[in-house]
Chains A and B, each alone.
Chain A
């Protein structure tokens, strides 16, 4: 299927989980497909990077559930900062580990899972929906009862997949893409390359098969689909492009030219503009 066909299954107000971590292995082609659609008022759950920034830039985010937003080599995403400082988005800010545990609870169909993270911090102050739970055993310890982060849709990007949804990561870190898929009702995986099933393990340890087909509803072949985030070993982060993005995102007068150049057409148009090189 295509990224646009996947995004046709998104509706206003849905909760969308986005895989990857910071500016690493983000399903950017799927995010760009959201930008081409008119879906809005999304609740986004993400270990945030430029996925969050671009969705904020396009005004598609109603609420962000997050532990951080960062471009890694550039500390802060300018569009996320602007959206927050303008009060344009609501947030549920958590410790990173709480987001992991919330996804795990959703994946395990549990109402919550206990975690120590959050106790004593303002995470509990600013999200008054969060509750604590006391151990029923003799220790009586109080812990955060992290609620399940149930997702309507999960969007993830992996290195290889077959047409059925079995998929492998070839870089050093799986991040939490399996949890995102298991926490979601509809699961879409984009990948660098769709290969026959038998090739998934050709020269690759079977442990790299992070997703299997019961965790995935749709596969989208999207070469360079994580650009400009990293997708090692296929490619690293495009640092020059990320700097171009961050500079344009910092300057409202420069942004329309960036958006016009890169974000006004199809994914093929985007990739062609990237290949043609920056405007600098």
Chain B
């Protein structure tokens, strides 16, 4: 099946977010933000049909509807039960990151000194608990040295260098997907590795947008959507919100 439209960078990012859930099985997908939400839906419609998806409030959705559209309900998962699932471990969360460092520590709390920050954000939300209980990935729509920092100001999500002892028992920071690349931590010292660059992006582009040296052995090119996936992306995101989050 062929498509007349060329995939955009956002399409590549959406498929990379979907691929986070390859082989996930029957677990709760908790994608935070537009691109991960599109990716999780695409995964469920294609290679991960057993995923459970929430409406972002208290219901599990029986059908995969376009973003913002209504769907029949297959389950009830209010916040109190989300915390039970976190501890149970049958969950893969995709969070954002105001800062992330080479070992995958993530900051969504504040910038600067924690006592009197220069910029207050959410607070650590569920990041400390998510990262020590189940698989966690990150989505960064603007890959830049300000986000990819040598050291995060606050460790909200726990990285590999902090995942020692009991904190490491269920720790599993899987991948980081950005507007430029896919990265993981499959190195001897669990530091960040460049897995693939999106079509049109060079390894040097990613390194220049990162404040710490990346492992770059065997970098590939991120796959582009199949024709069927492109068709589904346009169904799932008819307004093209993904192309507003990642332009170019």
Contacts and interface: CB of A to CB of B under 8 A. Distances in A.
Interface of A: 21, 48, 66-70, 75-76, 80-81, 84-87, 93-98, 100, 115-123, 125-126, 141-143, 172-176
B124 A173 contact: no
Contacts of A95: 124-129
B166 interface: yes
Contact of A70 (B78, B122, B124, B162): B122
B120 A94 contact: no
B165 interface: yes
A122 B114 contact: yes
Given A85-B119, A117-B132, A141-B169, 6 more contacts: A67-B125, A76-B120, A117-B128, A119-B132, A120-B158, A120-B171
B219 interface: no
Given A84-B117, A121-B156, A121-B162, A94 B83 contact: no
Contacts of A69: 122-123
Q: Chain B CB within 10 Å — which of A81, A93, A95, A115 has the most?
A: A95
Interface of B: 57-59, 76, 78-80, 83, 86-87, 109-110, 114-129, 131-133, 154-158, 162-171
The 7 closest A-B pairs by CB, nearest first: A117-B129, A120-B167, A172-B58, A119-B167, A121-B128, A120-B158, A87-B116
A199 to B, nearest CB: 24
Contacts of A48: 123
Nearest to A232: B57
10 contacts: A81-B120, A93-B114, A116-B167, A117-B86, A119-B128, A120-B162, A122-B109, A123-B128, A173-B79, A176-B80
A84 B155 contact: no
Contacts of A174: 78, 80
Contacts of B83: 96-97, 100
Given A84-B116, A174-B80, A176-B80, A97 B122 contact: no
Contacts of A175: 78-80
Contact of A68 (B118, B124, B171): B124
A259 B114 CA distance: 29
Contacts of A67: 123-126
B133 to A, nearest CB: 6
Contacts of B120: 76, 80-81, 84-85
Contact of B124 (A119, A121, A143): A121
Given A121-B158, A143-B166, A116 B132 contact: yes
Contact of B123 (A21, A66, A116): A66
B77 to A, nearest CB: 9
A118 B132 CA distance: 8
Contacts of B121: 75-76
Contacts of B59: 172
Contacts of B171: 120
Nearest to B59: A172
Nearest to B76: A172
A116 B133 contact: yes
Contact of A120 (B115, B116, B155): B155
Contacts of A143: 166
A278 B109 CA distance: 32
A173 B114 contact: no
Contacts of A142: 165-166
B169 A96 contact: no
A208 B169 CA distance: 37
A126 B114 CA distance: 8
B34 to A, nearest CB: 13
A68 B123 contact: yes
Contacts of A141: 166, 169
A116 B57 contact: no
Given A117-B132, A119-B158, A121-B162, A84 B125 contact: no
A122 B125 contact: no
Contacts of B158: 119-121
Nearest to B165: A142
Contacts of B165: 119, 142
Contacts of A84: 110, 116-117, 120
A43 B28 CA distance: 35
